[in-house]
Amino acid sequence: MIPEYVDFHAHLDLYPDLQEAIRSCDKQKTATLAVTTTPLAFKRNHELASSSKFVRVGVGLHPQLVEERYGEIELFEKLLPQTRYVGEVGLDAGPRFYRSLDLQKQVFERVLRLCASSKDKVLSVHSVRATKAVLDMVEKHLPQDKGTVVLHWFTGSVAEVRRAVALGCYFSVNEQMLSSPNGLKIVTAIPTDRILTETDGPFVLRKEAPIPAGDVRRAISLMANTLAIGELQARHVVRRNLKTLLQD
């Protein structure tokens, strides 16, 4: 089934009804990466998405949860062969999570090494206040020919965008990024063949309500404006990028 849209970072299991969220992605024909925040959450997501045409599930261990859940890395390793997708993983050096940064780095290194030995994984990576450390670790532990990193809601500098591109990374961008001056500076620095869309639902809000599952239409429209292309063309670009990314 050929998708119409791409949502490469969504927390479908954090919507009130996971089944309904999956159905909504299928109805819109949105190729969706349902990320999970702990390995324990993978099973239910995987089961409910097993009959979905458009939803794929990643096994993840969110950096903000590493302090309490780092022990689940063993389960992460066990589940990894069940999916090509990994996320949400990465580093968060923001004030609330800074104290677990060393532990986060240990976990992320293990994730990257495990992915490198499986060779074809695609990772959705969080890098809040830690863009340099994330890129350093990707460079060191996940060579380009051993896996693909998609940087989700990237907030680094334009120079870091270039560095990430040289490391083979893609970027998933959401409507909130595309509506902020700093986000737009990043988006315009991303080469057109490395850009994907995401909702980051339900965390991205529209008038204080969570963005509907799988709805990247506003992201597409803002992206089309930014790149000075039509919306159909923007959709085509994103679909083509996903196809290339999954073929590599």
Give least dist CB 198 to Mn ion, A.
Answer: 8
Give least dist CB 211 to Mn ion, A.
Answer: 12
State yes or no: cis peptide before 143, omega within 30 of 0.
no
Stretch that binds Mn ion, among 72-80, 87-95, 137-145, 188-196 (CB under 5 A): 87-95
Number of residues that bind Mn ion (CB under 5 A): 1
On the 0-12 / 13-18 / 19+ scale of CB atoms within 10 A, 20 is exposed
On the 0-12 / 13-18 / 19+ scale of CB atoms within 10 A, 99 is exposed
Of residues 94 and 230, the one with the C-beta less far from Mn ion: 94
Stretch that binds Mn ion, among 14-22, 42-50, 82-90, 228-236 (CB under 5 A): 82-90
Give least dist CB 204 to Mn ion, A.
Answer: 9
Of residues 83 and 192, the one with the C-beta less far from Mn ion: 83
Give least dist CB 239 to Mn ion, A.
Answer: 22
Strands annotated E in 11-112: 30-34, 55-57, 85-92
Stretch that binds Mn ion, among 85-93, 100-108, 157-165, 205-213 (CB under 5 A): 85-93
Give least dist CB 64 to Mn ion, A.
Answer: 9
Stretch that binds Mn ion, among 23-31, 80-88, 166-174, 205-213 (CB under 5 A): 80-88
The answer to whether residues 248 and 17 touch, using CB atoms and an 8 Å cutoff, is no
Strands 147-152 and 5-10: unpaired
Strands 205-206 and 209-210: antiparallel
Of residues 8 and 224, the one with the C-beta less far from Mn ion: 8
Q: How far apart are CA 68 and CA 216, in angstroms?
A: 32
Of residues 58 and 147, the one with the C-beta less far from Mn ion: 58
Q: Which residue has the tokens 């999916």?
A: 83
Of residues 88 and 92, the one with the C-beta less far from Mn ion: 88
Stretch that binds Mn ion, among 39-47, 76-84, 86-94, 206-214 (CB under 5 A): 86-94
Give least dist CB 14 to Mn ion, A.
Answer: 9
The answer to whether residues 142 and 112 touch, using CB atoms and an 8 Å cutoff, is yes
Q: How far apart are CA 106 and CA 196, in angstroms?
A: 28
Of residues 11 and 235, the one with the C-beta less far from Mn ion: 11
For 90-156, the DSSP string reads EEE-STTTGGGHHHHHHHHHHHHHHHHHH--EEEEEEEET-HHHHHHHHHHHS-GGGEEEEEES---
Give least dist CB 9 to Mn ion, A.
Answer: 6
What are the residues binding Mn ion (CB under 5 A)?
A: 88
